[in-house]
Structures are given as C-alpha cells and as structure tokens.
Structure 1
Amino acid sequence: MPSYDYPFNERIRTLLRLEDLFIKVLHNIEGEHEFIHHSVLLSIFQILDIIERAELKMDLLQELDRQKMVMNNLRGNPSIEEKVLNDLVTDIENAARPLRNTPGKLGQTLRDNEWLMSIKQRSVIPGGVCEFDLPSYHYWLGLSSERRKHDLSVWMSPLMPLHDAIRIILHILRGSGMTSNMTATNGAYQQMLGGAKPAQMLRVEISDDTPCFPEVSANKYAINIRFNSLDNAQRPRPCDHDINFSLTLCNL
C-alpha cells in the first residue's frame, strides 16, 4: 500500500530527507556499474550538506534519550508486551551508543578528505565532473566494482550511526499514531486539528489500485488533502471521485 509522509516542522522534514538519501545510498551501493556509484557519491554529498548543522547530533541523542525514558516508564503496563518494549529499548541504546561515541562533527572525516571535497565542489556545476575536469575521479570510476564498493563503504562508515539513529526515531514516530479510515469526497479532504500536543507528521496510505496521489497542505490547525492523478503528459489533474484512504497523525 503506497504511503506518503508529510512533516509538520523542519526537524522532521530534515530526518525524512536524510532517510530518503540513506535508502538510495544503501540500495545503490550494491550496484555494479560506475554510473550507479557516481549517483551514490552525489547522494553522500547531499547528506553532508544537510548535516552541516552542528546541533543535529545533539538533537538526535536527546530524542533517543527521551524515547528511552518514555519506554522505561511504560514497563509494567499490561497492554504492552514486555519483550517488544525490551527490544525497542535495546534498539534505542544500540543507536545512541555509536552516535555518542562519534568524535566531533558528523561527517567531519569526509570533509577532511581533500579528494572527495574536490569532487563535491565540482559536482554542483552542471557537467562539472567530466573526465577532463577530474581525471582522478574518472580513473576511480574505471576501477573494479569491488574496489568502488569498498571505498564507498569506508566513506559511509562514519555516517552509519546517523542512519541508525534516524531509522529508530522515525520508526517510533510512524508507530505513534492511531490510524483512521477516511474518504476524500470528490478527491478532497479537510480536517481541523486541536489538542495540546500538535502532530509532527501525518501519513496517508491508499490502496495499490487507486491511480492517484495526495498533495497535502497542513499545519498545527488544519489538514487539507487534494488527490490528483497524472495525465499522459504527466500533468497533475484533480480526481473528481470519492477516494478511500487511511490517515495517521504521528507525534513523538
């Protein structure tokens, strides 16, 4: 069932962007062709740009510590299975430990690599990584796929504690809300929000055989969802029929 996440604040938006980049890197790093590994390196550079904020590491550690405290306070609750709770606390601890032990700024070892930074600097220029611009990079792309995979894994290694922390936090966030079945009348849905603790993200899920996608406009006061489809020219067109979907409001 296709799902769409919509963040309500910049903090969750950053985590979702990093999650998306990590998914692409970890999938494509197993590829064989040099062009695939070129895409991996560009995604790594994008990760570095996003994590330039020095406080991201501290934000993640504080959230992991807070979630560990929340989970420990749930011990003895008869509606929660003890093994599931213990496994989640263990996952939180395993995610926090290497992140806490990472010295300095996230990704600093990559920033200290002059060769990588020379490629990163050229990569923002359209067509800036041609072989005549970066012959050493062209040579590296021509090495065996095993060598490229090894190098990419080495460069990704200092970023993996970040990946693990984001994975567990978003896992908790996505599992935090109650899911409701809704209907978008003539392809449109609106809901007013209230409560002392506003949602941080919403999830929309639709069935596989529904040929449309949601466009969301939301804040802490209201949600507006408009379902669209694509015509043959890939232009969005409003759906004019009722659409059943599920809606989850998530909050850490």
Structure 2
Amino acid sequence: MIVYEYPFSERIRTYLRVERLLERLLDLQHRDSANDHHFALQTLFEMMDITSRADVRGDLLKDLDKQKSNLVAYKDNPNIDSSMLKNLLAQIETCHKQLSATPGKPGQSLNDSEWLMTLRGRMGIPAGTCEFDLPGYHDWLHSSVQQRQTQLTGWSSAFMPVYKALQLILRLLRDNSSPKTVSAPGGSFQQQLSQGRSFHLLRIEVPTNSGLIPEISGNRMLIAVRFMSADEQRRLQPVKDDVNFVISLCS
C-alpha cells in the first residue's frame, strides 16, 4: 500500500518535513558513493534551514510533556498493560532528557564549521562545488568511504535527539487512529469531522501500482479527497470510477 499523509496544522507539517529529511539523511550517509554523500550534505543543510526557521525542539518538548500527562492518567486503569505503559513513559522521559540537554536550535553548532558553511553557500549555486571552486571539497569526496561516513555521522548526530523524539511523537500520533475502508463515488470523497475530537493528521492508503493519486484538502472541520490518475506525461486527470481506499484520522 502507498500511504499519503495530510497534516491539519503547521506544526505537524513541519514534523513530517523534518522526518522526511532525517530519514533521507540517514539513508544517504550509510551508502558508499561520493555522489550519495554529496546529497547527504545537501540534506544536512536543508535540515539546518528548516530547524532554524521553526521551533521544532520547543514543540517536541511540549508534545512529549502532553503525551506523558495523557499516559499517566491511565496508570491505575486495569484494562491497560502496565508494563507497556511503563516502557512508553520511560521512552518519553529519555527523549525529553536528551532533547532538553541540547541547547538552542538543533544543529546550531554546525554553524561553527567554516568548511561546512562555505560548502553550504556553494551548494545553492548549480554545479557550484566543482573542484576549481572548492578543491578542498573535491579532496573530501575522494577520501575513504569510512572517513566520509564517520564525519557525516558526527554532523548528523546534532539532530539525533530531535529525530528520536520525533519518531516517538509521530508513532503515537499515527497509532491513535482507527483505519477504515470507505468509498469515493466517482472518485470524490468528503467527510465532516467530529468537533468533539481534535485531529492532527489524515492518512490515506491506496494499493501499490493502482495509479490512484489522492489530492487532499481540508481542515479540522472538513476533509475532501479527489482521486486523480497520471497520463504518460504525468499530467493528472480526475478518476471517474468509484474508488475504495483506507482512511485514518489520527488524534
């Protein structure tokens, strides 16, 4: 299944963007080729950009506190697995401590590296990192795989407290839903949302290779989905047939 996610707030939108960047960064830095490590650095700089604009650390700390408060209320509930609850609270506490121990903006310490900052500026220029512009970077790309991976791991470690907290918060959010199969007559679907619950994320699942592409719009009161398909030039056309898909509203 292919999963499409739609956030209902700017905070969750930022979380999803940070998650995407960090997953890409970790994937690229564990590869061997110099080209992969070039794009790992590019992703590292994107992470620095997004965390410098948004208070990701502060928002995550607030969400960890909120989740802890919600879970503590279940401590005396006989229907709750106490060992699982204890483990979850321990994970929250660990993430909170690690994140609190990181002062300032995540990755802020990387600004102290003149080499990284020079490279960051040149990466904004098409082919701006050629050997005649940055011979030192050309040398780095030809250093050993192990040396490059070690340095990339060191640089990305500045974002690991954010990544661990983000993984936990998004897992709890995604798990707090009840997926159900619904139908979109003629490719269109609308649903009013209950005002008694606060939803933060919409997830839609469609079969892999189905060619179904959901265009999603909405807010915390109403969601609308229009299914599209792409022609050979990737131009989107509305689907006119009924579509069955899985929807999850996460709160």
TM-score, normalization by structure 1: 0.95
AA of the residue aligned to 1:41 = L
- Do the aligned partners of 2:51 and 2:105 also contact (CA within 8 Å) in 1? no
- Do the aligned partners of 2:28 and 2:40 also contact (CA within 8 Å) in 1? yes
- Do the aligned partners of 2:180 and 2:248 also contact (CA within 8 Å) in 1? yes
- The 5 A counterparts of 1:24-173 are 24-53=24-53, 55-173=55-173
> Using the alignment, how far apart are the partners of 1:69 and 1:191 within structure 2?
31
Q: Counterpart of 2:193?
A: 193
Q: Counterpart of 2:219?
A: 219
Structure 1 pair 192/157, CA: closer, same or farther in 2 (3 Å)?
same
> Using the alignment, how far apart are the partners of 1:243 and 1:36 within structure 2?
39
> Using the alignment, how far apart are the partners of 1:249 and 1:143 within structure 2?
48
AA of the residue aligned to 1:153 = T
CA deviation map 1:206-229 (0-9, x unaligned): 223532121101112211101112
AA of the residue aligned to 1:168 = L
CA deviation map 1:37-82 (0-9, x unaligned): 0111100100100000363222211211111121111113233222
> Using the alignment, how far apart are the partners of 1:115 and 1:17 within structure 2?
26
- Structure 2, unaligned runs of 5 or more: none
> Using the alignment, how far apart are the partners of 1:144 and 1:90 within structure 2?
39
AA of the residue aligned to 1:198 = S
AA of the residue aligned to 1:142 = H
TM-score, normalization by structure 2: 0.95
Q: How much is the aligned-residue C-alpha RMSD, in angstroms?
A: 1.5
Q: CA deviation at 1:187?
A: 1.2
Percent of aligned positions with the same letter in both sequences? 40
Q: How many residues are paired up?
A: 251
Runs of 4+ with >4 A deviation: none
41-50 or 239-248: bigger deviation: 239-248
> Using the alignment, how far apart are the partners of 1:28 and 1:215 within structure 2?
29
- Structure 1, unaligned runs of 5 or more: none
